[in-house]
Structure 1
Amino acid sequence: MLLRFGVVPMVVFSSKEAAKEVRKTHDLETCTRPKLVANGLFSRNFKDIGFTQYGEDWREMKKLVGLELFSPKKHKSFRYIREDEGDLLVKKISKSAQTKTLINLRKSFFSFTAGTIFRIAFGQNFREYSFIDMDKLEELVLEAETNVCILALTDFLPTGFGWLVDRISGRHSRMNNAFSKLTNFFHHVIDEQLKIGQLQDNSNLVSAMLDMINVPTNLSSLKITSDHLIAMMSDVVLAGVNAGTVTMIWLMAELTRHPRVMQKLQEEIRATLGSNKERITEEDLQKVEYLNLVIKETFRLHPSSPLLLPRETMSDIEIQGYHIPKNTHIKINTYTIGRDPNVWTNPEEFYPERFSNSSISYKGQHYELLPFGAGRRSCPGMNLGITILELGLLNILYFFDWSLPNGVTIEDIDMEEDGAFNKSLELIPTIPSSL
């Protein structure tokens, strides 16, 4: 589908064949990231991984984050943090389960994902900060993420006119305010890091990058600055925290709407893990195959990024016989691909068994399922995100049964895909008699 926003042409591809051709044939050599206003503000003038244009700086930043946050060694060393946060999630929900009172799962999931990611990436527990609480942190993340997705008219209208409209409408001011507040929060986090003196052990991304800023090395051609650090902190928080939270909410909403799937999944979990387990560990994640199928089906129907981050062509290219001129924005519509009747049987149905005996994965090799993208610009934090997602879900599905509040029916659950980042779900947890 060809669209035109002002003077900028945009092509949206909505088939797995087109997505495959874009990613395999035109991954980096002919496509880069467009320089959009919101993305530039978010990434400190394009010094992160997600929005930086293709080039040496992007390669060096990807290498750095891969070593300091997402390497197999780091992933293993952070296991105790993930399991600790899983235990804390269970303890918090248990208080409501004992009285059978309603809880807002968004709050619980956000606290779990944010707590895990902050401890892993920043080396600190955000619950102990005196300058912010969980509700304020959630507000900051939602405001920043909403503004990242705003289309500034400066990007699409002739120079001068778009800029003027953005300022008169207040759009530019809202974006600046959102990112300024998030940046101020990160400066507080950095100050706390400096106070507790973790610079020498490089145990997390912030301490490692602070060390590189203070003591430059010859290991990289890129000179790390405070802007790089703030940009990477933004990437980690916005790409990791809210995406994981929303995916968990969608999955629990679908399970609540489909009692057969909920019952089958919980029966398998409890039969496999036994009835006297005191805590869930990461060894347990490999034992419950049906959970993996349910997660795949949730990704298919509810990708956290219905449109993958845009590319911009650096030269004239051809995709599926269509001529795409230079400076065209390209987007992949993962939402439509996940519901394509040419690919999926009964595509609107939530049916995890469709992935039984199937080799389809969500790691970028199969273009009918692309929640994390594909190619060299796919999400580098995929493995960490999946582990956090699986661990949180396994905890709440093993230790608790879930029901809707009195007077609320399955039909009342909001399943509208309106692009909102603050999807909520309220359920009542109970402790099963079998545990």
Structure 2
Amino acid sequence: MYFCWEKLVPNKSGRLPPGPTGLPIVGSLHKLGAKPNEALTALARTHGPIMTLRLGFLTTVVVSSSDMAREVLQKNDQAFAGRVILDAVTVDSHHNFSIAWGQVGPYWRTLRRLCNTQLFTTQRLDALQALRHRKVHELLELVDQYSDARKAVHMGRMAFVTSLNLLSNMIFSSDMVDPQSESVGELKELIWSIMEGVGTPNIADYFPFLRPLDPQGIKRKNIVQVRRLHQLLNEKIDERVGARERGQPIYGDFIDVLLDYSDQESGSKFSRAGILAPLVDMYLAGSDTTATTLEWAMAELLHNPEKMAAAKQELKENIAGSMHTVQESDLGRLPYLQAVVKETLRLHPPVPLLLPHRADVTVKVSGYVIPEHTQVLVNAWAIGRDVQVWENPTAFIPERFVGSNIDFKGRDFQYIPFGAGRRICPGLPLGVRMVHIMLASLLHSFYWELPDGLKPEEMDIKDKFGVTLQKAVPLVAVPVKYLGGVAA
């Protein structure tokens, strides 16, 4: 990462956007607090939808409106396609081989093309419907056991297991964990610990001379956790390499695609590190964001019983009988359920500040000059709650999306929970399919109650800032089976 004190002041060709006056050395770091997305939103009310902060040695421009997001992510997409690399993601040079953190160039474009043509195409995702239905059926069977025992379900954990095993089947054609095994909790903690390490504010990211010292121990912890995940993935990769060497049939899954490219390039590009990095990206982002979004959707529905009732009524009217399994082909007849997911993503975008962009060249935005190497943060959380765009923006109102053409595919800049432009989340097509089918199936197959007599208005719906915006208090709810059209 490039840092220079000269970049902290206006250059001769123009000026940086306005912003708060910082303290000596630390700049405005002290203003971020435990929830930087909210702190930056408050600062933007004073300094405008594009503002500059000095965070230690790092000059940062923050955009907090749809118009400014369009300037950065569409009009100047190429100029801002770089990444500011956090110290925590440099473990074993992960950032050099990563889809999420890699700098735009020939290698990154190859990885992105593989995702777009081999993993997340409409045709491939359609062909994998049976796999997704099987995984959702396994989820419902497990929830059914909790219902029989009148036990509360840890919603995030259940969604995590389903998402993780679905990804693992797309990559390795096998499950990663047994849903009822104790290893589920261990793997979940491992992945969430890595995500926490990336999302925890790290003083070394703002004062680069501190990186070798790692004063908070964030990188040291991440080294241990990432290498544990590498070990699990290496075991599966070695198993597949051995099978290929023995002449066993090719599965045609994503690991076969990566190994094929590795053979073609004689290891010069797709070395073992080059194979591990995109797999780590997929397991971290794919399992965590999907599980978090589903947990938030269920939390908002339980907190707003009238919205839950509307979603269940729509399912009842469009799905034949409570015992009928929801199919992906049914989702088109469920506009209210789709609106619930959209509203959840508006209020609780999976990555509230997206991943940090970097200006790869000096560029002018809205009359201001953004110098090369400046960090650029897009506050998707603030954009989704902009009072100039959204009526009653802090309320959960799925109806605002019913009949609306606003979508999350990066074309509507007032609503960009997955980003936009060339850095938009590549796993978006799979993630939204999984959230919709899991949510629809859980609502259609069970009534849901809060544990211990907790009332909806008493629920804690606070969030916890990180790379992903998790629920501060994990959601637990009791599933109740249908019996003759009513709760058993």
TM-score class normalised by the smaller sequence: over 0.9
Question: Which of 216, 221, 227 in structure 1 is aligned with 2:264?
Answer: 216
1:182 matched to 2:229 = yes
CA distance in 1, matches of 2:184, 2:167: 14
Counterpart for residue 84 of structure 2: 34
How far apart, CA to CA, are the structure 1 residues paired with 2:398 and 2:204?
A: 43
Uncovered stretches (5+) of structure 1, i.e. residues with no partner: none
- Give the distance between the partners of 1:157 and 1:217, measured in 2 at CA: 38
Q: Give runs of aligned pairs for residues 12-411 of structure 1, distance below 5 A.
A: 12-41=62-91, 44-127=94-177, 133-159=183-209, 161-164=210-213, 166=214, 168-194=215-241, 197=244, 201-213=250-262, 215-216=263-264, 223-275=269-321, 277-411=323-457
C-alpha displacement at 1:277, in angstroms?
4.1
Check whether the contact 1:313–1:329 (CA below 8 A) recurs between aligned residues. Answer: yes
- Asked if the contact 1:60–1:222 (Cα under 8 Å) also holds between the matched residues in 2, the reply is no
1:8–1:200: structure 2 CA closer, same or farther, 3 Å change rule?
farther
1:40: how far off? 2.5
Distance 1:392 1:195, change over 3 A: farther
Aligned length in residues: 429
In 2, are the aligned partners of 1:42 and 1:148 still within 8 Å (CA)? Answer: no
CA contact (8 A) 2:107 2:269 kept: no
Residue 403 to residue 59, structure 1, CA distance change in 2 (3 Å)? same
Give secondary structure in 2 for the equivalent of 1:116. helix
Quote how far apart the aligned CAs of 1:264 are.
0.7
Task: Go from structure 1 to structure 2 and tell me whether the alpha carbon gap of 1:365 and 1:75 turns closer, same or farther (over 3 Å shift).
Answer: same
What does the per-residue CA deviation read over 1:22-51, in whole Å, with 9 as the maximum and x for residues that have no partner?
011221245411233222227624212111
Cα deviation for residue 176 of structure 1 reads: 1.5
Q: What is the one-letter code of the residue matched to 1:253?
A: A
- Whether contact under 8 Å (1:27, 1:376) holds in the other structure is yes
CA change 1:95–1:173 in 2 (3 A) is same
Alignment check: 8 A CA contact 1:317 1:323 kept: yes
Partner amino acid, structure 2, of 1:109: A
Q: Is the 8 A contact 1:43 1:51 kept in 2?
A: no
Does the C-alpha gap of structure 1 residues 271 and 45 become closer, same or farther in structure 2, counting only changes over 3 Å? closer
What's the CA shift string for 1:246-281, capped at 9, x where partnerless? 000100000001111100110111110121543222
What RMSD in Å do the two structures reach over aligned CA positions? 2.3
User: Is the 1:123–1:203 Cα contact (8 Å) retained in structure 2?
Assistant: no
Does structure 2 conserve the Cα–Cα contact (< 8 Å) formed by 1:38 and 1:150? no
Return closer, same or farther for 1:348/1:43 CA change in 2, 3 Å cut-off: farther
> Where do 5+ consecutive residues of structure 2 fail to align?
1-50
Query: What's 2:14 paired with?
Result: none
Q: For the residues of structure 1 that align with 2:172 and 2:401, how far apart are their CA atoms?
A: 36
Q: How do residues 416-431 of structure 1 correspond to structure 2 at under 5 angstroms?
A: 416-419=462-465, 423=471, 424-431=474-481
Structure 2 CA distance for aligned equivalents of residues 200 and 46 of structure 1: 32
Per-residue deviation, 1:217: 5.5
Q: Report the CA distance between 1:196 and its aligned residue.
A: 5.1
C-alpha separation in 1, matches of 2:248 and 2:335: 41
Please, which moves more after superposition, 278-287 or 325-334?
Answer: 278-287
Partner SS state of residue 427, structure 1: strand
Distance 1:196 1:414, change over 3 A: farther
For normalisation by structure 1, the TM-score amounts to 0.92
Give 1:66 shift.
1.9
Summarize the Cα distance change of 1:247–1:42 in structure 2 as closer, same or farther, 3 Å threshold. Answer: farther
SS of 1:239's partner is: helix
SS class of match (1:431): strand
- Measure, in 2, the Cα distance between the counterparts of 1:169 and 1:355: 43
CA spacing shift, 1:235–1:208, aligned 2, 3 Å: same
What displacement does 1:191 show? 2.6
Q: Rate the CA distance shift 1:17–1:106 in 2: closer, same or farther, 3 A.
A: same
- What is the distance in 2 between the residues matched to 1:194 and 1:157? 42
Looking at structure 1, the residues matched to 248 and 178 of structure 2 have their Cα atoms a distance apart, in angstroms, of: 20
Q: Secondary structure at the match of 1:127?
A: coil
How far does the alpha carbon of each residue in 1:104-126 deviate from its partner, in whole angstroms, 9 at most, with x for none? 11221111111111111222111
Distance 2:217 2:270 in 1: 33
